[in-house]
Every structure is written in structure tokens, then in C-alpha cells.
Amino acid sequence: MAIAESHAEQQGNGEPPASGLPGSRRRHPWRRGILLTATALVAAAVVVLGTLAGTYQPIRGGGESGIQFPGLPTGTGLRSVNTFGLDPGQIYAPPQRGAFTILQALSNVGPEPVTIEAISILSPQQQAEEKEGEPAYPLTLAGAVRWISAIGNWPASGRPVAGLSLAPGQDILIGIPLRQVGTCYDPNGWISPDGFYVKERYLTFTHWVTVPFQPGLVLHYPNIPGQKLPPGYVCLPK
């Protein structure tokens, strides 16, 4: 009897393992650390991908050029100059009142499609200055930039390039109609615009890309509209 009572007391006073009680919980502090680490990694990946997408620039120029494009004005007197040896030289656009066209090639050399939102002869800074009343210089667009496929026969006219989704590996030709801003010029002064500017969109990101003229473009310094004519400038006949 004493042994039985002693055994009963041991059962009543002992503390069974917590896992044996209904509704008991076991805490795992390491889970919180894993969740925080995973969240930080995801956030870092989003930032990296966003940065890469925001700077993704697969558009390249070059490969073909010219002074004619279907449906756009040819201009007067445009020709190749400074072609020494294997040097491609430059395209010379003499002073003229009318519009002329420069043909350039564009390619998407990346693995993802991009959308061409706009093409301008003015840099983003010049575009902002133009909105504030500063005149464009030395050239301005004389109409919508158009495109045709780089493969196959030329159509009667191109299509507006704004809104075009350029697929990976796709090559196109664009016609950029231009006009010199002044009707007077410096016969002894020369200027070579850096190139043209393409506004591209990838995912939700847009930015402007500079594409050099290939070959370069050269013209005489035109006068700045609205400013006093400098000495030595010659004006085009009306």
C-alpha cells in the first residue's frame, strides 16, 4: 500500500512535457530570421531588376545611311564629303529653305522588345529649352519620322515610327525630315550635330538614347532666328 501511494504521488507531482498538453505551442525564432532575410533578398532583387530595366538600352544605329526615303523630301545638293581613303566621310547639307531627309538604320540588339516612343533631333535639354521659348538649333524636325523594314523592297512611303515595338534582332530604316532653322548662314563656319535622340520604353521605364549620325552630318552655321545677324553671314534668296 505504501508503494502504491508513493507511486501515485510521483504521478500527481510530476510535470509532463509541454508537447503533451493540448493546445501547447513551440516557438521557432529562426523562422522570423528566415522570413526577414527572404524579404530583404526579394527587395534587393526588385531594386536591381528595376535599375537594369531603367537603363536597358538595346537600340543601336549604323549599317546603312542615305539622303532619300520613300515619301519624304529629298532636299537640294546633299552629298558625301571628306571621304578620304576608307573614311565614310560626312553628309553635307547645304543651306536651303526647304526640308531634306537623312536616312539612318536602327537595330534592336537586345533579347527583349522595346517600344520607340519618339525620335527627336533635339536633346532632352534642348526640348525643355524649346518649351521655354528657346529656339531649336541648328536643325528642327520638318515632319514625322517614318520607318520601313531594312529587308525587302521599299514601299511607296514609310509609317510613323512613334509607337513601334522593335522586336529582338529587328532592323529598320528611318527617315528623319529636317529643316535648317535659319535662312542665313556663315559661309566659313561649320557645325556637325551629334546625332538624333530616341525615346525608348521597356516595361514601365522610358528614357532618351543618343544615336550618332553614321556617317556624320555637317552644315554651315545657320543664324539663330530672332537674334541680330552676325557679320559675314549670307542670306538665302527669297
Over residues 175-192, the pLDDT tens digits come to 999 999 999 999 999 999
pLDDT of residue 34: 74
Average confidence score pLDDT of the chain? 85
Question: What is the residue extent of each domain of the chain?
Answer: 59-226
Q: Give 104-119 pLDDT, tens digit per residue.
A: 999 999 999 999 999 9
Fold of 59-226: Immunoglobulin-like (2.60.40)
Helix (H) or strand (E) holding 20: none
Distances (CA, A) of 145 to 9, 10, 109, 139, 234: 97, 95, 21, 14, 30
Instruction: Say if pTM beats, i.e. exceeds, 0.95.
Output: no
